[in-house]
Structure 1
Amino acid sequence: MPRQAQEEVERNLQLLDRQTAEAGRRLAETRGQGGPDFVQNAILGPLADKRKATIERITIAIGRSAAEPRGLDGLAACNLGLAAPGTQPSDAGAGAGQQGKDGPTAAEFVDITKVAPNVRAVRRTAGASTGAFTSRCGTNERGQHNSDNDIVAPGVSNGAHHVHDYVGNKKVDFNSTNESLSAQGTTCTNGDRSAYYWPVLRDTSRQGPDANALGGGAEGNRGAILVPSTVTITYQGSPTGKVVAMPRFLRIITGDAKAFTNGTKNANAHWSCTGFENKVQLTDKYPICPRGSKVVRSFAFQSCWDGSNTDSADHRSHVAFPDARGNCAEGFKAVPRLTMRLVYRTPAAPHFAVDGFQGQQHNAVTDHNDFINVMSDRLMRQAVSCINSGRRCG
């Protein structure tokens, strides 16, 4: 994509998501209304018209500085794919909770004991910041779930089209603002009000209570939600120097929920098993763990910040990963590196899968995580001090 067109294209891609979410809400609200052509005439037809206009704007934006892409009009029309909420999904006969044609398949699970070690440690220089700061925020025992995403689709209900787990801030949804997040309580024991959220992992051998709900089974995310046995949130330092404070309300997305179709440029999925994390990390496969070992999802967020912005049009450009030696690019500053480790007791493979967008096949490579920094300035200063002085605290 031409750099000059990126902001406008991203804005219109977000509009496509909002248009689809609104159509999904109308499907749910008008269930049972109208005649046999009601859905096509009142919902899918107008949706196609809106999407066509939006796609035309994307085409024009790209055409200003490069060759216009062809054939995008064919992406405008939508069909139900899965039955509307309150009806049976088209592949319901496959059995309760089965992923069916949506994936994952048995071939996407690998025995971790048969994978060659692939983890390499980053070397630290003499000036490295070696401390760590931990926020203990629970495992979402309260069951805070929704299919919103306040970073990518603010103001849009069901903007994620898949369900998120939340810890930290006690109320995060499509209506959240910096002010509302600041006013909420937190599940973290140190007063950290930050929002930490990720797509749920499901036991696909069992039917969940949201089997016919938007974000859940009505959009291909079927199964009972698994609660992590542990969630560890740690901020670490830079291997090449000191870190500076993150700005309050910094927003970071790590990984790509559409990496199965987008490619792996922004993918950042890490799957392993307890006892193997320092040896093997998988990206596009789920692990089959030996007896007594548990499945681990881990995330290491971008830790270089542009020094001025708390977000960007593509929700990525304002932050970056350090290079292979641990250095931030020119113009970027090293901030505390947020790492998260989620441990699960899962059913036997292939009966678990991560929530995702339709068409992404619940592939392991689509795993991702979202973060909004709502620490007080005082708590962030404490975190930076611990990290830069080599202490472990929180």
Structure 2
Amino acid sequence: MVVAAAALLLGGGGLAAVATTALAGNSEPDTASGHQHTVTATTVSCPDVGDRLRRVPRSARLQVSKGLAALDRQVATAYEKMTNGDGSDALTRLKQQRSKTIGTMADAIARDAKRPTYLLAMSGCKIKSTGEQQTADTRSGSGYGTKSTNDGWGQDQQQNQTQGGDQSRQGQQQDPQQGQQAPGGPGGPSPDDFADITTVQPNAGEPPFAAPKGNGASTGTFTSECGRNEDGHFNSDNVIVTPGVSNGAHHTHDYVGNKATDAFSDDRKLAASDTTCTNGDLSTYYWPVLRKLDGTSEHKPGAGHDGNNGSVLTPASATIQFRGSQSGAVRAMPQGLRIITGDAKAFTNGTANANASWSCTGFEDRQLKDKYPLCPQGSQVVRTFAFQNCWDGRSTDSANHRTHVTFSDRNGLCPQGFTAIPQLVERVTYDVPQGQSFAVDSFPEQLHKPVTDHGDFINVMPQDLMNKAVDCINRGQQCT
């Protein structure tokens, strides 16, 4: 019976059940005898094809973008099947789908570049344990609302929606005292994902938001005042990773700065847009929304349709600042430079690129990467995104959106072949209800883990404004 239960749910994402206290000959927990099913929470882990890309010719970029979006949809669909108890062949079917999609991507690349045969070995997925346990009565339903079964790629996700937004509320645990969704359900987050900030030992020295200091450092700062997304600029696109594809992120982003940013924005469209920044900065700044787990659900892409339930929290503040280098002067960023910090799939990919951090006001010498902070009364939740500050001097982007930029060492020195640029640091604060009451949007199989937090940036500063920022930073001034 245990084996059968596990086999039923091993699939492309979500929670696999392994009964640990079930009675022999009885498929139901015997609550009268004090026996109860417990399950080990798991999710799916697939090789990150996008992260392994090294060269994508211009002629193949749209097809590769659609392929990456299709791979994410396939995992999401398998996740839904598993959590709805229909995942007996989910891993096998997922591998078949991924093989076809990756092969088509490789064919597109091979028309104008060397065929990336190394990608073809990345179709298989496995089950990853979260290290958490749940009782059987807390895992019925996934809180994941999509009914997409598209095995192909390049189609608009919205074409696959079904009616019935109430489906995305199934399985949520409700706090009878506050009416909020309690963490620990199959869609995440887990109670283990939270930590009382007052019990965390100081680990960061000065807050990450502090500018460089010391002899030789470029100690100035340049701040763009771009608001808190009071106008409600939201979408679930991913213009850097999956341009040209609607709902490429499967989670909703907050945007400040450029008002035209969506999946179909190119450099020309962004340069012609208006901005929320008071100094004329046209750059695009965005990050996943934070939601209050209040039991509400909006059945649309990036929200309940993709397992992201709860009311969106508007930041209390959002500070956009560029700072200098510990080792010396910085040079101007090129127009169109794209940078991603953090990793939206860090829970399954590992933490090598998990650069975002969490804290509380008044406690910012204590930074958390894999926990949400529980802040004292009157203290706000803080998200900090420190972006890569070394550029290869040639490319505004790279095939995996990472290798054209990197971080300096602690002395501000860039690796050979890289040069120092102004470091973007974003600090976003929130007023949240007390307790385990909030979570960041994520891909469904990432289970709303705080380690998946990330930020995205496209430089569209007018050149004279970028020159002003660089001069200000290098002169040790504070400018806006």
TM-score, with length taken from structure 1: 0.84
Match of 1:53, SS state, is: helix
> 1:19–1:50: 8 Å Cα contact kept in structure 2?
no
Counterpart residue number, 1:254: 341
Distance 1:298-1:70 versus aligned 2 partners, 3 A rule: closer
Residue 466 of structure 2 is aligned to residue 380 of structure 1:
yes
> 1:20–1:47: 8 Å Cα contact kept in structure 2?
no
Counterpart residue number, 2:216: 127
Residue 201 of structure 2 is aligned to residue 112 of structure 1:
no
| Aligned equivalents of 2:343, 2:64: Cα separation in 1 | 15
- The unaligned stretches of length 5 or more in structure 1 are 25-45
Structure 2 counterpart of 1:382, which letter? K
The structure 2 residue matched to 1:299, chosen from 372, 378, 385, is 385
> 1:55–1:73: 8 Å Cα contact kept in structure 2?
no
1:128 Cα offset (Å): 0.7
| Aligned equivalents of 2:94, 2:191: Cα separation in 1 | 36
> 1:287–1:295: 8 Å Cα contact kept in structure 2?
yes
Structure 2 counterpart of 1:298, which letter? T
Match of 1:161, SS state, is: coil
Counterpart residue number, 1:237: 324
Distance 1:74-1:330 versus aligned 2 partners, 3 A rule: closer
Match of 1:248, SS state, is: coil
1:151 Cα offset (Å): 0.5
| Aligned equivalents of 2:327, 2:373: Cα separation in 1 | 32
The structure 2 residue matched to 1:72, chosen from 98, 101, 124, is 124
* CA displacement, residues 192-216 of structure 1 (integer Å, 9 cap, x when unaligned): 00000000000011414xx211111
Residue 54 of structure 2 is aligned to residue 7 of structure 1:
yes
The structure 2 residue matched to 1:51, chosen from 98, 110, 114, is 98
Structure 1 counterpart of 2:203, which letter? N
Residue 149 of structure 2 is aligned to residue 149 of structure 1:
no
Distance 1:205-1:7 versus aligned 2 partners, 3 A rule: same
Residue 65 of structure 2 is aligned to residue 18 of structure 1:
no
1:105 Cα offset (Å): 1.3
The structure 2 residue matched to 1:137, chosen from 220, 226, 240, is 226
Match of 1:51, SS state, is: helix
Counterpart residue number, 1:270: 357
| Aligned equivalents of 1:234, 1:123: Cα separation in 2 | 13
| Aligned equivalents of 1:65, 1:168: Cα separation in 2 | 38
Structure 2 counterpart of 1:113, which letter? T
* CA displacement, residues 229-288 of structure 1 (integer Å, 9 cap, x when unaligned): 1000110000110000000110000000000000001111210000011x2000000000
Residue 394 of structure 2 is aligned to residue 327 of structure 1:
no
TM-score, with length taken from structure 2: 0.69
Residue 360 of structure 2 is aligned to residue 282 of structure 1:
no
Q: Pairwise CA RMSD of aligned residues?
A: 3.3
> 2:391–2:405: 8 Å Cα contact kept in structure 1?
yes
The structure 1 residue matched to 2:250, chosen from 157, 161, 184, is 161
> 2:144–2:304: 8 Å Cα contact kept in structure 1?
no
Match of 1:166, SS state, is: strand
Distance 1:158-1:59 versus aligned 2 partners, 3 A rule: closer
Aligned residues: 366
| Aligned equivalents of 2:251, 2:171: Cα separation in 1 | 22
Distance 1:214-1:291 versus aligned 2 partners, 3 A rule: same
| Aligned equivalents of 1:290, 1:325: Cα separation in 2 | 34
- The unaligned stretches of length 5 or more in structure 2 are 1-46, 76-92, 108-113, 128-142, 148-161, 175-179
| Aligned equivalents of 1:102, 1:296: Cα separation in 2 | 23
| Aligned equivalents of 1:239, 1:157: Cα separation in 2 | 40
1:23 Cα offset (Å): 8.4
* CA displacement, residues 325-349 of structure 1 (integer Å, 9 cap, x when unaligned): 2210111010000000000001222
> 2:251–2:302: 8 Å Cα contact kept in structure 1?
yes
Distance 1:63-1:386 versus aligned 2 partners, 3 A rule: closer
* Larger CA Rg, structure 1 vs 2: 2
Structure 2 counterpart of 1:104, which letter? P
Deviates more, 1:49-58 or 1:215-224: 49-58
1:163-242 matched pairs, under 5 angstroms: 163-208=252-297, 211-242=298-329
Deviates more, 1:366-375 or 1:212-221: 212-221
| Aligned equivalents of 2:381, 2:251: Cα separation in 1 | 21
Counterpart residue number, 1:36: none
Structure 2 counterpart of 1:188, which letter? C
Residue 163 of structure 2 is aligned to residue 86 of structure 1:
yes
Match of 1:101, SS state, is: coil
| Aligned equivalents of 2:299, 2:401: Cα separation in 1 | 31
Structure 1 counterpart of 2:70, which letter? Q
| Aligned equivalents of 1:70, 1:267: Cα separation in 2 | 22
> 1:247–1:310: 8 Å Cα contact kept in structure 2?
yes
* CA displacement, residues 58-81 of structure 1 (integer Å, 9 cap, x when unaligned): 899999579x74872899xxxx96
* CA displacement, residues 70-125 of structure 1 (integer Å, 9 cap, x when unaligned): 872899xxxx9644342233661535773631111112111100011101359744
Distance 1:243-1:116 versus aligned 2 partners, 3 A rule: same
1:157 Cα offset (Å): 0.5
